[in-house]
Amino acid sequence: MATAEQDAVGTREEYLRIHRLMAQAKALDDRMHILVKQGRAPFVGSARGHEGIQVGATAALDGPDDWLVPHYRGLGNVVAMGLTAREWMLAVFAKADDPLTAGRNIPGGCFGYRARRVVTVSQVVASWLPKAAGMAYAAKLLGKDSVFLCNFGDGATSTGDFHEALNFAGIHQLAVVFVCENNGYAISVPLARQAGNPDLYRRAEGYGMPGVQIDGSDVPGRLRHRPRGRPASPEGRGADPDRGPDPPHQPSYLGGQPGPLPDAGGHCRGA
Ligand SMILES: Cc1ncc(C[n+]2csc(CCOP(=O)(O)OP(=O)(O)O)c2C)c(N)n1
Ligand SMILES: [Mg+2]
């Protein structure tokens, strides 16, 4: 899309880092498809087409107490949090040294990684959204300067958990960034069968939080919507004259469109 015409909002180093992370996530994801076809891996919840929105959003999560609350499709997110290819493969091949689940779960299905500030992800669609709001509430009560990045799909927006989480975050003005990765399908169910209004980002207003729609492949656009307007480095926090001071706590909602998955209809083998 019109990425090349966007004003640069990040530094050269930041763009290079993001590009490297996106390439790493894509390479790992491609390898997963190969391993599944070879019968050597049981499952891939593919992040294909989601690399931009996942890495772009996560790369802006730069505080020492910031946490990722990922989607089961969030390989790009966890790579951006520092997960290495070796660590991922230890999980895929169910090795005891697997730092995600000690080799006890389907790859990418249900895992957490405390050392990298990755909260445990679940396969139960949208169940992690209230968790993100609850953790942000705890952080607020404890006076912590934490931001929680919570990613989910378009199908998750038709669950009760979605409503409860955003409602709670809006009431308490919690530091959660809800990112909807809208790939147009919940397995085989198209968005038109999930939502009467396809502009999912507009729901944010109803919960008392700002909502924006962004092109999921537009990484500069993503950086423009950093969590709480944070600049790239901890040293630079609060120093950006264009963004003004950060509010202590404020939820926000990004309705991203990463572009359709090539095989969005097939979930378990290569979706
Ligand atoms: C509560 C619940 N209902 C149904 C399922 C089966 N299921 C797994 S993925 C999925 C679709 C989710 O779609 P979406 O939120 O758009 O995420 P995507 O997979 O497209 O990234 C469903 C219905 C589930 N895992 N959990
Ligand atoms: Mg979807």
Residue 107: which residues within 8 A CB-CB, separation 6 or more?
32, 41, 42, 43, 44, 88, 91, 92
Q: State mean pLDDT over 34-59.
A: 93
The two three-digit tokens of residue 2, written as one number = 């019109």
**In the structure, what pLDDT confidence band is assigned to residue 60 with cuts at 50, 70 and 90?**
confident
pLDDT score for 108 = 81
CATH number, domain at 143? 3.40.50.970
Instruction: For residue 191, report the distance from its CA to the centre of ligand 2, in Å.
Output: 8
pLDDT, tens digit, 9 for 90 and up, residues 3-46: 455 566 778 898 999 999 999 999 999 999 999 999 999 889 99
* pLDDT interval class at 266 (50, 70, 90): very low
CB–CB of 78/142 below 8 Å? no
The percent of residues above 90 in pLDDT, for the chain, comes to 65
Determine, yes or no, domain membership for 142: yes
Distance between Cα 190 and ligand 2 center (Å): 8
The pLDDT value recorded for residue 7 is 65
Ligand 1 nearest-atom number relative to CA 183: 20
The answer as to whether 237 is a domain residue is no
pLDDT of residue 196: 95
Atom of ligand 1 nearest to the CA of 264: 20
| Closest atom of ligand 1 to CA, residue 186 | 13
Q: Is the pLDDT of residue 56 over 70?
A: yes
* Position 267 pLDDT exceeds 70: no
Q: What is the DSSP string of 4-66?
A: GGSPP-S-HHHHHHHHHHHHHHHHHHHHHHHHHHTTSSS-----TT-HHHHHHHHHT--STT-
Helix residue spans in the chain (DSSP H): 12-37, 51-59, 75-80, 85-92, 128-141, 160-172, 203-206, 219-224
- Is 112 domain-assigned? yes
Asked, for residue 54, whether it belongs to a domain, the answer is yes
CA distance 154 to 125: 10
Rounded distance between C-alpha atoms, residue 229 and residue 102, angstroms: 36
| Domain contains 171 | yes
Residue 246: per-residue pLDDT: 39
Is 3 a member of any domain? no
CA 188 to ligand 2 center in whole angstroms: 9
Residue 25 belongs to what domain range? 10-231+245-257
Pairing of β 148-153 and β 176-181: parallel
**Assigned domain for 271 exists:** no
23: Cβ below 6 Å to ligand 1?
Answer: no
pTM of structure: 0.85
- Tell me if 21 is assigned to some domain: yes
Query: How many C-beta atoms surround the C-beta of residue 251 within 10 A?
Result: 30
Q: Quick one: pLDDT at residue 262?
A: 38
> What pLDDT score was predicted for residue 190?
95
| Count: domains in the chain | 1
pLDDT value, residue 1? 42
27 CA from centroid of ligand 2 (Å) = 22
* pLDDT at residue 227, rounded to an integer: 54
| Residue 188 in contact with ligand 1 by CB distance below 6 A | no
The response to whether residue 161 sits with its C-beta less than 6 Å from ligand 1 reads no
- What is the average pLDDT value for the chain, to the nearest integer? 83
Q: Is the CB of 125 under 6 A from ligand 1?
A: yes
For the segment 214-240, what is each residue's pLDDT rounded down to a tens digit?
888 877 766 666 655 443 333 333 333
- Residue-level pLDDT at 5: 55
b (16+ CB within 10 A) / e for 101-128: beeebbbbbebbbeebbbbebbeebbeb
Residue that wins the pLDDT comparison between 248 and 4: 4
